[in-house]
Structure 1
C-alpha cells in the first residue's frame, strides 16, 4: 500500500506531498499557497481520491465502493 500522495490544488496548481491517514478519510484540505479549501468531488470520499496522485488507503485495499467504510 502506498501512503504518500501528491495533492494538486485545482485553484492555483500548487502541489504538496502528504502522508495519508490509514484510519480516517480526509474530507478537507486547505491549500497553503492560495487558501482554497479542497473538498472531495462528487462520487469521491476524500481529497486524496479527488486531487491526489494515489487514492486513499481504503480504495487501494478494497476498491472505490468501500472507500473509508
Structure 2
C-alpha cells in the first residue's frame, strides 16, 4: 500500500506530496501554494481520489481485496 501521494491543485497547479491518513478519508485540503480549500469531486470519497496520483488507502485496500471500502456507498 502506498501512503504518499502527490496532490495537484486545480486552481493554481501547485504540486505537494503528502502522507495520506490510513484510517479515514480526507475531505478537505488547504493548498500550500494558493490557500484554496480543496474538496472531493462528486463521486470521489476524498481529496486524494480527486486530485492526487495515488488514491487513498481505504480505496487501495478495497481494490486489492475486492471488499467494499468505507468510502463506497
SS at match of 1:26: coil
Among 54, 61, 66, the alignment partner of 2:69 is 66
- C-alpha root-mean-square deviation of aligned residues, in Å? 1.4
CA distance in 2, matches of 1:7, 1:67: 21
Question: Aligned pairs, how many?
Answer: 68
Map 1:14-33 to 2 at 5 A: 14-33=14-33
Compute the TM-score of the two structures, normalised by the length of structure 1: 0.90
- Residue segments in structure 2 that go unaligned for 5+ positions in a row: none
Moved over 6 A (4+): none
- Residue segments in structure 1 that go unaligned for 5+ positions in a row: none
Does the 8 Å contact 1:45/1:67 carry over to 2? no
Question: 1:14-43: per-residue Cα shift (whole Å, max 9, x none)?
Answer: 000000010111100011111111000000
Higher Rg: 2
